[in-house]
């Protein structure tokens, strides 16, 4: 698409920046600072709407006057933010649950609880109309063009605003209800999401059915006008904070693969029928969860019984776009922190190979941005999401490796005296968490298979 910031986008940027500067004070500013080194800023969607992590030096965001600087940069040269925040890319289009915080804290919300301050921040966003910018004209708060949505995502990242709790509902569930839901479902859920009062999690991946979403085994049995859901979901971000979960389950007994699936809306407050168990990772955090359903009641299907695959694929198509660009702002900030660590340790003076790797990381990040701009708003390209996932997943994992390489042997030591609490600093968490970047959300092997079969037309892989 022809992507450029115009005068209206510049005015929108000033409005967004001014509002954030006015509101990010007191407790809200404290929440943002606490999130800075450890959480994702869920500014938009996931691998579609991907989350976020200011405005942007090396990734080429618009400058303060809204005009792009030389070579698409802001005119500020290669700079980094203060506390590197990362994006929340979400799923890859194959149903692997993500909830990733481009480095350290998981998806929107990360491994941190839904504190009263962060809950209040969601309501603040809703009251000012900053939730639902990408929804159609009949729903949500204020309207915004695609470029203005990019502006908001970038300014939110630039301001280091608190990690979002409403990301999944706003950017995944709400557009899905608008496209496939009935009027009653839209009226029941969209206003609460738009006000920043209703939070959602995603029940897709299962043990043995991560990237291969069509293999889900969770079942749902009709019970009058409702369904009873039984099974297990895994890698579920925000399951402890969410009021609702949208669940892909098998409603046709004996069905296989993508047939017989339904997209169900399940309230999470069902003691004895829903059990949420945090998953502790090698980084020491627990941003993901297992969710066990034992006859849990679902409020109904979206798109009708048996149409879950179509609805689920439509939702996954939403997981790419605007906030991919804001995600890269978070990556740029993390890169800046790695460069500063290299400079502080003297590695830049004595290791030309390391210097070359850092420069390559910077150049590749620029490439990520231009690829995101090239595909922004495009539909019907089956390979674009997989190419994007391969690019950013590999890039971020290599950055994690650089984060420890630049520090040498010191990277193996904790930030303070030995403690059983398993303390790590931000760069160590970046290294450990980014090991998963090429696996979750559809592994690199899955992405290459998609490109081979759907783009290049090669024979399908035997199953």
Annotated catalytic residues are 319
Task: Give the residue from 41, 20, 9 showing the smallest Cα distance to 325.
Answer: 41
User: At a CB cut-off of 8 Å and minimum separation 6, what does 241 contact?
Assistant: 109, 113, 114, 165, 199, 201
Residue carrying structure tokens 């929108």: 12
The residues, any chain, with a CB within 8 Å of residue 174's CB and separated by 6 or more, are: 132, 135, 139, 140, 189, 190, 193, 194
The first and second tokens of residue 34, run together, are: 């606490």
Distance CA(5)–CA(152), nearest Å, equals: 12
Backbone CA torsion sign across 390, 392, 396, 402: positive
Q: How far apart are CA 251 and CA 131, in angstroms?
A: 33
Beta bridge partners of 209: 206
Contact 373, 388 (CB under 8 A): no
CA distances from 157 to 36, 43, 51, 332 (A): 10, 7, 10, 11
3 state DSSP class of 277: strand
For residue 450, give the nearest of 396, 398, 392, 389 by alpha carbon: 389
Q: Are 210 and 436 in contact (CB under 8 A)?
A: no
- Could you tell me the two tokens for 264? 């169900």
Instruction: Provide the residue count of the chain.
Output: 463
Cβ-based neighbours of 224, under 8 Å, separated by 6 or more = none
Biggest distance spanned by C-alpha atoms of the chain: 72
């Amino acid at each position: 698409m022809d992507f450029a910031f115009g005068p209206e986008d510049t005015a929108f940027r000033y409005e967004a920046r001014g509002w954030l500067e006015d509101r990010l004070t007191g407790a809200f500013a404290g929440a943002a600072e606490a999130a800075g080194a450890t959480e994702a800023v869920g500014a938009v969607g996931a691998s579609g709407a991907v989350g976020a992590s200011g405005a942007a030096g090396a990734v080429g965001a618009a400058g303060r006057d809204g005009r792009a600087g030389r070579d698409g940069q802001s005119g500020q040269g290669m700079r980094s933010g203060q506390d590197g925040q990362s994006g929340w890319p979400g799923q890859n289009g194959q149903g692997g649950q993500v909830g990733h915080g481009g480095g350290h804290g998981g998806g929107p919300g990360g491994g941190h609880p839904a504190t009263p301050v962060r809950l209040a921040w969601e309501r603040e966003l809703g009251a000012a109309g900053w939730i639902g910018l990408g929804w159609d004209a009949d729903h949500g708060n204020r309207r915004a063009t695609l470029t203005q949505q990019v502006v908001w995502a970038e300014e939110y990242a630039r301001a280091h605003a608190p990690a979002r709790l409403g990301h999944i509902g706003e950017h995944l569930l709400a557009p899905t209800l608008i496209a496939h839901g009935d009027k009653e479902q839209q009226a029941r859920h969209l206003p609460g999401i738009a006000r920043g009062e209703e939070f959602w999690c995603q029940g897709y991946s299962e043990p043995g059915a991560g990237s291969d979403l069509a293999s889900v085994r969770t079942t749902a049995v009709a019970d009058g006008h409702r369904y009873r859901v039984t099974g297990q979901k895994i890698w579920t971000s925000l399951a402890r904070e969410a009021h609702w979960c949208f669940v892909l389950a098998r409603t046709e007994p004996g069905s296989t693969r993508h047939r017989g699936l339904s997209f169900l809306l399940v309230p999470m407050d069902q003691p004895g029928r829903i059990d949420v168990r945090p998953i502790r990772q090698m980084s020491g955090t627990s941003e993901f969860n297992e969710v066990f359903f034992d006859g849990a009641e679902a409020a109904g299907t979206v798109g009708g019984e048996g149409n879950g695959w179509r609805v689920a694929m439509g939702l996954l198509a939403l997981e790419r776009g605007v906030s991919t660009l804001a995600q890269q702002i978070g990556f740029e900030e993390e890169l800046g922190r790695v460069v500063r660590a290299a400079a502080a340790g003297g590695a830049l003076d004595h290791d030309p190979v390391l210097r070359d790797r850092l420069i390559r990381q910077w150049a590749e990040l620029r490439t990520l941005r231009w690829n995101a701009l090239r595909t922004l708003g495009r539909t019907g390209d089956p390979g674009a999401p997989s190419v994007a996932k391969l690019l950013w997943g590999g890039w971020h994992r290599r950055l994690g490796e650089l984060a420890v390489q630049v520090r040498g042997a010191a990277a193996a030591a904790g930030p303070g005296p030995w403690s059983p609490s398993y303390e790590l600093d931000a760069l160590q968490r970046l290294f450990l968490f980014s090991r998963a970047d090429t696996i979750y959300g559809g592994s690199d092997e899955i992405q290459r298979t998609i490109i081979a079969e759907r783009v290049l037309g090669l024979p399908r892989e035997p199953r």
